[in-house]
Structure 1
């Protein structure tokens, strides 16, 4: 087995799988290190299996947040995928690119090449859209299949009518011109076979890449640190198995690419000697480069659910247990519509907290089912429906800090949820809108009463207190190795995703997002992988003299991120 490759990719998540395929297509040899196992679990491939995946310790990094007053002093589970395909193998499969304004905002922060018009071709390149869509925005021949949801209940149609009754338009394709309004989510689910199956990046990109013969995938191989020689990344030290098993090294002729996710990527950089110098010294790490932005700028969507009991209509709650569940399983394997074919939230609604807002700033998602005490995993024993919502572009920022040089000790993670007044007001607005929708006329024949948070929670302060006690993450962590210009002392990578101050090292995952997007991160992470591949291949074809294009990156020049004292 060769231990020197053109590229070493740390993490077989959504971006890492894309990079493996595109670089191998171009004739390069690639080694992919994945901390978790192969994606063999059947629950990964059956769409409704996400409920099992999120709680399977063999497939996840079960990180915990630090308690804070804003979350009722609770430590929240901040799950990341630890399996081939990464979080794209365990998530709810929602495919949402975000808004045009999100990416124009990235470019406006000093990141040339990242405006909406410039990233749209990469979204299209990645996608095979099955169903209606404007081909100005949608792709038809990419590796990733994107389909419309299975509508498992008439309640989905009543949800649309309820939002329309409040004056909001129906929007079939939220990944096209605009998000405003109500309509179906889209999903990375492949409907082309006998049964519907999850389309993770491992399935869409990594498997074809391995078939080229130029990709070596090493599972159960967590990275321990990036190796440097003279301020250049030259390889990765990793552990070939569980704690106590031998350590090995793999070398990169060209580059090391870290694609480990927004919680693991900053930790790996830190224990490799790249981060805030004072913090690194405090945990016994020799400082390779003082880069204080590593681990800063953590952002996540803080979500809250509103659930109601219904009557005289079928919901997932009854169909998801006992004999009805056996019937749903039979239908699934017979290739017929089934609750096993659906994602968690078939429908969505984007709206503005204030009509003067230039774009929608809040969203809610609808499920024709409900969970005990508002938590996913356990269905209620009575028929129910749920709306869960959050602010699309939260202002609160937190951090990730390695606690130790050992990868067996979880990092310290503080998202600082609800740290700003704007974010707190948003939670109140989400609950009020969810209640308005659930109590609208189209639901009237079926609506019984609100179960969660309950009718006793009425005032703004009561709603906010409830949000603190019962809200949680939707696993959209991002921003911890943010992209930015030379003038930003907390920028970790430049617009070509190169880590500042060193050679041969890039980051390509949700960590590089300089600001959050208006939706789940997976679609945009796949886009980042596609664009990163092009940037790398451009640099191979026409090597850049970094001191010319980016004077601040010239080795030997002292900058804020290089000061070690």
Structure 2
């Protein structure tokens, strides 16, 4: 085993959180930081062209290629489960939608972990400090930060009509989803810069890479954490990893920080003996800390993709249906960085309540001027739009568990979608609301006809079955190393993101969320990393 050296901080994973942490920690010239990434450089052309996510997801160059276990809630189907394996992580392959969630999400986190510094009013400055918003600085937005937020460079007649129809159904038009209450309908804001994807590698890592106290190692697979028994219990001393055909050891003088995401972080903890002791024993891993919550509490947003055929309006199905149309689309992007190739996967958003009893919006729509059978399939030959709707606060809980002591074996991902009566009811209500929007006067000129799941599903029971048949992940896994108080038996980290019972180790990524945010999860992960960096600086400045 070769020594990679000693560092003050070792960060595992150069994804969304890891890039932010590298930037913030290396601002202190007196510390040495090592960042280890399993993937390669973000120099693949399709990462940067917004529509290129189609070429990045399920591509071994940029994706871990995970799949879920057969899921009973989805009729036994297994889904692809994309996670970025490249600099920038999932920010290099995701939908680029800038979304914070709702104020109540963070207040709920604060109550769960007993720490008011996680409340909305306390974390809003963290969102603002990293933001470079197209509208400039304001009470809710920042300017001059690293994380660029822009308006999309497109519009669609059918999406404008859907927005009008949503308003007629009681969902008001708004211009900003990120002020703490996201009720309403608008085009999504996106993390792009003049029509080009803006990932965290560009935003944060590029600055860190120019600093002499920073070391980046790509193409390196972390096998386990080095955990030793100290005077007061287990202590994480560093990591063992392979790269370039060599096994390496890197030692951390201060802390090791897991930023490998909601799949990678719990899996690496388990491989290192930190997790449910009984399960680890069965797999031949010697337990060093019995933490029941490692890998538990998996939450995700399940999208229900409703497809409506339309007449008398252009959709991408038609525009991209021939080579001439594709050439025009390519030329528009080459000349102006606009048009369909600048599209995020979803363009129009809406937040609504599934029923009057919901205190805040519990549904999110991702609306697209196109349709297809499933991800990776060709567009349908007929004009259509897709209105995907997801339950923002699912009560179903899944789990992630390693399959064996082999660090190269993919973990078992079991989401447990639609496993509670509450989630099945919300699914049925969501499909009914979508039908009401489609039947509103604003869409009448285009004569929408339900193609998926089909008008034959009418009762709540039938609609729940339809949701099972058409549901698919929208790629927002969180919660598998959740933070919580001492009396929370499933809490993995405390409110300072320190792993319970293991010194010198933190987790700082989407896995620490006790509850999923009410919206897309990438930018909340940036906020978590910002807060983690502040806490780390504060902890070591006191010593």
Give yes or no for TM over 0.5. Answer: yes
- 1:240 and 1:336, CA in 2 relative to 1: closer, same or farther beyond 3 A? closer
**Mapped partners of 1:338, 1:331: distance in 2:** 6
TM-score scaled to structure 1, two decimals? 0.92
**Counterpart for residue 175 of structure 2:** 172
Aligned to 2:220: 221
Q: 1:493 to 1:468 in 2, by over 3 A?
A: same
Using the TM superposition, name which of 397-406 and 330-339 deviates more.
330-339
Report the counterpart of residue 264 of structure 1 in structure 2: 264
Aligned residue number for residue 337 of structure 1: 338
1:92 aligns with 2:95: yes
- What is the aligned residue count? 534
With the length of structure 2 as denominator, give the TM-score of the two structures. Answer: 0.96
What's the counterpart of residue 387 of structure 1?
Answer: 387
Shift of 1:63: 1.6
Query: After superposition, where does 1:530-549 map in structure 2 within 5 Å?
Result: 530-543=530-543
2:114 is the alignment partner of 1:115: no
- The match for 1:552 is none
- State how far apart, in whole Å, the 2-side matches of 1:215 and 1:431 are: 50
1:450 has 2:450 as partner: yes
Give the deviation of 1:183 after TM superposition.
1.3
- Aligned CA distance change for structure 1 residues 224 and 182 (closer, same or farther; 3 Å): same
Q: Structure 1 513/254 Cα, relative in aligned 2: closer, same or farther at 3 Å?
A: same
Q: What residue in structure 1 maps to residue 407 of structure 2?
A: 407
Aligned to 2:496: 496
Relative to 1, partners in 2 of residues 1:376 and 1:467: Cα closer, same or farther, differing over 3 Å?
Answer: farther
Report how far residue 247 of structure 1 moved. 1.4
Report Cα offsets for 1:71-103 as digits up to 9, x if no partner.
101112111111111111001111110000000
Distance in 2, matches of 1:498 and 1:177, equals 28
Q: For 1:204 and 1:538, how far apart are their aligned partners in 2?
A: 24
Deviation at 1:2, TM superposition (A): 5.5
- Say yes or no: does 1:429 pair with 2:429: yes
- Does the C-alpha gap of structure 1 residues 205 and 384 become closer, same or farther in structure 2, counting only changes over 3 Å? same
Q: Is residue 111–residue 494 contact of structure 1 (8 Å, CA) maintained in 2? A: no
RMSD between aligned residues: 1.5
2: CA distance between counterparts of 1:31 and 1:377? 40
Task: Check if 1:304 corresponds to 2:268.
Answer: no
Does the 8 Å contact 2:4/2:249 carry over to 1? no
1:488-521: per-residue Cα shift (whole Å, max 9, x none)? 1211101110101111100000110011110111
Contact 1:307 1:374 in 2 (8 A): no
Q: Check conservation: 2:355, 2:429, Cα contact below 8 A.
A: no
Taking the aligned partners of 1:533 and 1:312, their CA distance within structure 2 comes to 53
Helix, strand or coil for the counterpart of 1:169?
coil
Match of 2:324 in 1: 323
Give unpaired runs (5+ residues) of structure 2: none
Instruction: Work out whether 1:124 is the aligned partner of 2:123.
Output: no
Pairwise mapping of residues 10-159 of structure 1 onto structure 2 (< 5 A)?
10-27=12-29, 28-112=31-115, 113-131=117-135, 135-159=138-162
Question: How far, CA to CA, are the matches of 2:146 and 2:343 in structure 1?
Answer: 21
Q: 2:454 & 2:390 partners in 1: Cα distance?
A: 19
Give the aligned partner of residue 546 of structure 1.
none
SS in 1 for 2:151: coil
Q: Which residue of 2 aligns with 1:348?
A: 349
Alignment match, 2:476: 476
Aligned to 1:558: none
- The alpha carbon displacement at 1:364 in A equals 1.3
Q: Report if aligned partners of 1:256, 1:506 keep a CA contact under 8 Å in 2.
A: yes
SS at match of 2:17: helix
